[in-house]
Amino acid sequence: MRDLDPKAAVILKDICRRFTGDCTVLVTGCATALGGGDHAEIGRLAHLLHGQCLALGLGSLVEAASELEQSAKNGALSEVVPLVGSLLPLVGRAQIALSAACAAAIPGFNENEKPAQP
């Protein structure tokens, strides 16, 4: 990653930062849906989380999101509750690892640069 084109580095930096925000929204949404007993919404959000984590190679989150998605679709409340509770710490660890990897590979990663424009 050290040989990234500067434009690609800015885009990757933006992806890393968006991941942080998106995951927080998805995990919070799962907890809210759990409080409302909305297993379909938990399954939908877990599916989105699974896809994002899979794209970034975040294995433990991929597994947890996949398991949550299946448990929610099966209506297995006894499995859903602890899985939703496990997501936030997993996301936190993934964010730290991802930020550290990006900071090591992308010059200026921790500086306040404007995100890449689509």
Question: For 41-88, how does the pLDDT look when each residue is reduced to its tens digit (9 = 90+)?
Answer: 999 999 999 999 998 888 899 999 999 999 999 988 889 999 999 998
- Residues with Cβ within 8 Å of 27's Cβ and at least 6 positions away in sequence, in order, are 49, 84, 87, 88, 91
Give the pLDDT band of residue 102 (cuts 50, 70, 90). confident
User: Which pLDDT score, from 0 to 100, does residue 117 have?
Assistant: 46
Find out whether 30 and 42 touch, Cβ atoms under 8 Å. yes
Which residue type does 114 have? K
Of 25, 23, 9, residue with least CA distance to 108: 9
- Between the CA of residue 54 and those of 13, 18, 21, 60, what are the distances in Å? 18, 15, 16, 10
CATH numbers and ranges of domains, the chain:
6-105 (1.20.120)
From CA 29, how far away is CA 87, in angstroms rounded? 11
User: Is 80 exceeded by the pLDDT of residue 105?
Assistant: no
**What predicted TM-score, i.e. pTM, was given to this entire model?**
0.79
Find out whether 2 and 104 touch, Cβ atoms under 8 Å. no
